[in-house]
Each structure stands twice: as C-alpha cells, then as structure tokens.
Chain A
Amino acid sequence: MAETTAFELVTPARIMMAIDASMVVVPGSMGLFGAMPRHAPTISTLQRGVVEVYVNGSVSNRIMVDGGIVDVTEDRCTVLAERAVNLDNADRSDLEAQRQTANNNGNAREEEFLDAAISAL
C-alpha cells in the first residue's frame, strides 16, 4: 500500500469527509495544487472550485467548495470550507431546489455557489 495523506473536509456543520487519499487537488487562490504525502506544510486560502480526492491513482471523490482554507502537512490535508457540496452523491434537482430557496431569500452568494456546483456536476 502506497503512502497516503489523511484528507478531511470540515464544514461548520460537520466533518463532511474523512478519507485516506493518495493525492488531493485543491483550488488554491494561487492556482490548483496537489497535496500528496510528504508535501511541505502549507496553509493556503482557497477559491471557489472543486476539490478532487485521488485514491489509488484515480479520482474517488469530487467536492465543490466555496472558498475556504486548506492546511496541508506531511501526512494530512484538512480543508475548511463554509459551504461545500459533495458532487458524487448530489442530486441535480435537489441542488436546483436549494438554489431556488437561496434565490427567494435573496442570498446571492449561496445562489452563485449552487449555480457553480450544478454546472460542475
């Protein structure tokens, strides 16, 4: 078994995902970067985009985040995001309903984010 990095995606509501990954690609504000085991310890802000989790060389999970922060060390990778949507088990009609509610509440930021999530499905 190859080395893995302990990936965690934490939102204010819960720990959304915790998985041992071989690589995690995160949308850093300076550009996408991959966090692999033994990556230099880094803290980076994130922009809106998709976090891709690789297990055994292929993408196992894709999560849309609306900015946030990532804390990478040699053996773990923690993403803190206020809003996140797991694209693997998200339902298009569900997201569209959520977007509609956000629209009704005049919550432009949430709406934009859900728009982006829907188009990334």
Chain B
Amino acid sequence: MANLKDLKNRIKSVKSTQKITSAMKMVAAAKLRRAQENAEASRPYSTRMSAIINSLASKASPETAPALLAGTGNDNRVLLIVLSADRGLCGGFNGSIIRSTRRQVESLNKEGKTVELLMVGRKAKDALQREFHDIIVDTKEGVQGTSVSFADIDSISDIIIQRLENGDLDRCQIIYNRFVSAIAQEVTIDTLIPITIEQDVDAGTDDMAAAPYEYEPDEATVLEDLLPRNLSTQIYAAILESSASELAARMTAMDNATRNAGDLIDRLTMVYNRSRQAAITTELIEIISGAEAL
C-alpha cells in the first residue's frame, strides 16, 4: 500500500486538477451564453437571405442559372468543409467530427467521386492529416470563437468560388456540429452548392408569392450578387453553431471531469484515512507488546 506522504500528494494534485476543470467549466459556460446569442442573432439575416434566394431561384431557368446556385451540371468532385475546434478538452466534439468526416469521405469515394477537404480548425486537421494529406486543399485556423469576422469567412468562400470557377468542384458540403442544446450537439452535413430550393417556401412566407417583384438592375445580376453573399452567410452561420457547440461540449466535459475528480478525492481520502489508522494501530500494538515484554 502506498505510504501516507504519497497519498497526500496524490490528493493534492487531484484537487488542483479539479480546480482547473471547474474553472474551465465556468469559463465555457460564460462564453457559451454569448456564443449562443451570436448564433441566434445571425439567424434573421440568413433566413431573410434564403427567402430572397428562394424567390429568385424559382424563377431562374436551370440552364442559365449560375454555377453557385445550380452546380456545374456534373457531380464528380466534392469539396468537404470540415469545421472542428482549434483546442481540445471538449469531450467528443472533435472526435465525432473526425469520425463523420472519415465516413463521409469513404462513402463518397465508394460512389466514385473525387473528394477534397477544406479544414477549418486545427484538431480535425491534426487527426486526419496523416491519412488524407493528399486531398486536403487548405487549412484555416483561428476562424472561430465569439469574434469571427465576416472577412475571415470571405476568405473561405473565396477559395470555394475560385475552385468552382476553375472547374475543380461540382458539389460543396459542410460538416459541423449543430447546436441543439447545451447538452446535445449533432453532427450535420449541409450541402452549400448546389443550393436546394424549397419550392413551397413562397407559400409559407408573408407576401413573397403574392406580389410580383421588380428587380434592380435585373434578376440575373441580383442573383449573381447575392449568391456569394449567401455562401458566406451559410458558412458564417455554421461556424457560429460550431463555436457554440464546442463551448457546450467543453462545459459538459469539464463538468464531468470536475465530478470525477470529486469522486477520486473521496476515494483517496478514504484510503488515506484507513492507512493512517492502520499505521496508528500498528504503532500501538508495538508499544503494548513492548510493555508486556518487560
């Protein structure tokens, strides 16, 4: 059995670990609230944007529609944008992204498609670099948290648009953790290009269907101007969701860690007290038997 001094040190070290994890939990919880607010605040923009796109897209004919809307007509090359965290210690957050990415790449490969990866966030890149290094086209780091600027996002959508124009891409998907609640995140794969047009959306939203719109300068120009913005908006929304999910995952993970540390401390304290008692008993027996021998 470990001696008393070792046990004491062990307890001390677990206690300080517990302090760190509980502090991290608190920080994550505070940041989570802001990230959640950010994610919610960004929704009006993207819903209004998609409403306009939808009403425009239903008018555009498939032959003349821009590639950003309808794709290139082929479906051979797929670009997968993978959103993970830059930092670890957030439970299964990065692991589940990595797993789903691997599965998605496999299934796309099986369909005979060429897959390329655009990694946003360090953790998934680190994990997948070895097996997928030849299909990773670019990596972005530091594009997350509560202070994402739209300029960062533009640099990502620029890459996508560039590749689309060069004919290196037919379909673009984004894989990220969608924020469901503080204890649940869901790995989601959304298709950014081609855009899925919800035909019945017009009927649902206010006056979109009722009034014939006038377009200035004209429909095609508006659409051309709008589509790159829409791409950025969607990526932005996904990144905000992913940031909120990361913080939520970290909060849960750190909460568990704090509780585990508490259990461990209890157990160790018990062992410590027992061995201390045992030592006292042994000493007493020695004294008594020494006295009897006299």
Contacts and interface: CB of A to CB of B under 8 A. Distances in A.
A69 B225 contact: yes
B45 A74 contact: no
A29 interface: yes
A78 B45 CA distance: 10
Interface in B16-53: 38, 41-42, 44-46, 48-49, 52
B52 A82 contact: no
A58 to B, nearest CB: 27
Contact of B48 (A41, A74, A80, A83): A80
Given A13-B42, A82-B229, A43 B216 contact: yes
Contacts of B233: 12
Chain A contact residues (Cβ within 8 angstroms of B): what range? 20 to 34
B42 A12 contact: yes
Interface stretch (B67-75, B123-131, B205-213, B284-292): B205-213
A12 B217 contact: no
Interface string A16-46: 0000000000001110000000001111110
Contacts of A29: 216-217
A74 B211 contact: yes
B226 interface: yes
A62 B111 CA distance: 54
B132 interface: no
Given A10-B45, A12-B233, A74-B207, A43 B151 contact: no
A85 B69 CA distance: 30
A42 B48 contact: no
Interface residues of B, number: 29
Contacts of B45: 10-12, 80
B150 A40 contact: no
Contacts of A1: none
A15 interface: yes
A73 interface: yes
Given A13-B41, A107-B151, A110-B151, A41 B214 contact: yes
Nearest to B211: A41
A45 B225 CA distance: 7
Contacts of B232: 82
A71 B52 contact: yes
Contacts of B38: 13
A121 to B, nearest CB: 22
Nearest to A39: B214
A44 B216 contact: yes
B145 to A, nearest CB: 14
A43 B217 contact: no
Contacts of B41: 13-15
B229 A44 contact: no
B49 A80 contact: yes
Contacts of B225: 45, 67, 69
B222 to A, nearest CB: 6
B210 to A, nearest CB: 9
B93 interface: no
9 contacts: A14-B44, A43-B56, A43-B216, A68-B229, A69-B229, A74-B207, A78-B48, A80-B52, A80-B229
Given A10-B44, A42-B214, A73-B207, 5 more contacts: A13-B42, A14-B42, A68-B229, A82-B232, A83-B150
Q: Which 5 A-B pairs have the closest CB atoms?
A: A44-B216, A41-B211, A14-B41, A42-B214, A45-B225
